[in-house]
């Protein structure tokens, strides 16, 4: 399984926490989660959302999956035995559990805004695999279970100074190949003039119509929407 985050794993917690408040994200999720307990984090990364969710409610029973072994390693250190972690793609999801709520906070997929349109940005590049990933989540949710996909501020250019004097530059461009749109995200880390690390990520962009019909095909209907924050879907 390819680890798309390997080169930036060392800097991950520092730069993402400059861009967003993970406690606030977890608090927002906990409001939607309500009394539900069995949660699946799709693309758990280093476990920042889960760390705060467990602070808010230690009785959550959380499973996390991710394709990046380097980020999972940090999640293991942060969360210890409190969470079940699997190095698994959501398009191959196969754990012997049913969940009340599954969510992706900038994980396998996220929502991004481009000009006037909201698009799904997916780390999974093949449409067939994206469809399969929604089906896999549906299969692991209880009837009436909830899928939450958050919106992300990742699709933008940025220049941020980290606490240790390292400067993080981020670039975001769009590429059109055979009528398919992709977001190309460049991550660069500098100490003075020296380039310490560099990673390019490619995400497939799907129109509202395309991702909605894929979700419907997998048995989801649209639930609560908080513009700019998240969309939720109910498993029928």
Ligand X SMILES: C[S@@+](CC[C@H](N)C(=O)[O-])C[C@H]1O[C@@H](n2cnc3c(N)ncnc32)[C@H](O)[C@@H]1O
105 binds ligand X (CB under 6 A): yes
45 binds ligand X (CB under 6 A): yes
Nearest to 149 by CA among 111, 176, 192: 111
CA distances in angstroms from 125 to 155, 174, 206, listed in the order given? 17, 14, 10
48 binds ligand X (CB under 6 A): yes
Name residues contacting ligand X, limited to 170-209 (CB under 6 A).
none
Burial class of residue 45, CB neighbours in 10 A (0-12, 13-18, 19+): buried
Concatenate the DSSP letters of all residues of 130-161 into one string: HHHHHHHHHHTEEEEEEEEEEB-S-SS-EEEE
Q: Single out the residue of 8, 33, 83, 90 in contact with ligand X (rule: CB under 6 A).
A: 90
Residue whose token pair is 């990364």 = 45
Cβ contact 205:114 at 8 Å: yes
Q: Pick the piece of the chain touching ligand X (CB under 6 A) from 42-50, 78-86, 168-176, 228-236.
A: 42-50
Q: Single out the residue of 74, 100, 107, 145 in contact with ligand X (rule: CB under 6 A).
A: 107
CA distances in angstroms from 95 to 65, 90, 104, 111, 230, listed in the order given? 10, 10, 17, 26, 25
**Minimum CB separation from ligand X for residue 129, in Å?**
8
106 binds ligand X (CB under 6 A): yes
Write the binding mask 117 to 146 for ligand X: x where contact by CB under 6 A, - elsewhere.
------xx----------------------
Residue 228, helix vs strand vs coil: coil
For ligand X, the closer of residues 75 and 166 by Cβ is 75
Name residues contacting ligand X, limited to 49-68 (CB under 6 A).
49, 65-68
**Minimum CB separation from ligand X for residue 194, in Å?**
25
Residue whose token pair is 């977001």 = 183
Size of the site for ligand X (CB under 6 A): 23
Q: Single out the residue of 43, 148, 166, 204 in contact with ligand X (rule: CB under 6 A).
A: 43
Other C-beta atoms lying within 10 Å of the C-beta of residue 113: 15
Residues binding ligand X (CB under 6 A): 4-5, 16, 42-45, 48-49, 65-68, 71, 89-91, 105-108, 123-124
């Amino acid at each position: 399984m390819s680890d798309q985050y390997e080169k930036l794993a060392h800097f991950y917690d520092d730069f993402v926490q400059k861009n967003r408040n993970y406690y606030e994200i977890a608090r927002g999720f906990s409001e939607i989660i309500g009394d539900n307990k069995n949660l699946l984090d799709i693309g758990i990364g280093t476990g920042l959302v889960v760390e705060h969710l467990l602070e808010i409610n230690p009785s959550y029973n959380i499973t996390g999956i991710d394709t990046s072994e380097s980020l999972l390693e940090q999640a293991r250190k942060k969360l210890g035995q409190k969470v079940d972690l699997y190095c698994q793609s959501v398009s191959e999801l196969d754990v012997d559990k049913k969940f009340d709520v599954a969510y992706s906070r900038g994980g396998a997929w996220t929502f991004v805004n481009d000009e006037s349109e909201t698009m799904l940005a997916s780390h999974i590049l093949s449409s067939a695999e994206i469809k399969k990933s929604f089906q896999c989540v549906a299969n692991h949710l209880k009837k009436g279970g909830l899928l939450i996909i958050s919106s992300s501020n990742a699709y933008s250019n940025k220049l941020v100074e980290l606490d240790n004097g390292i400067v993080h530059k981020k670039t975001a461009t769009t590429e059109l190949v055979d009528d398919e749109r992709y977001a190309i995200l460049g991550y660069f880390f500098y100490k003075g003039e020296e380039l310490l690390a560099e990673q390019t990520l490619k995400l497939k962009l799907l129109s509202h119509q395309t991702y909605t019909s894929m979700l419907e095909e997998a048995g989801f209907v649209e639930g609560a929407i908080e513009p700019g924050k998240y969309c939720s879907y109910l498993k029928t």
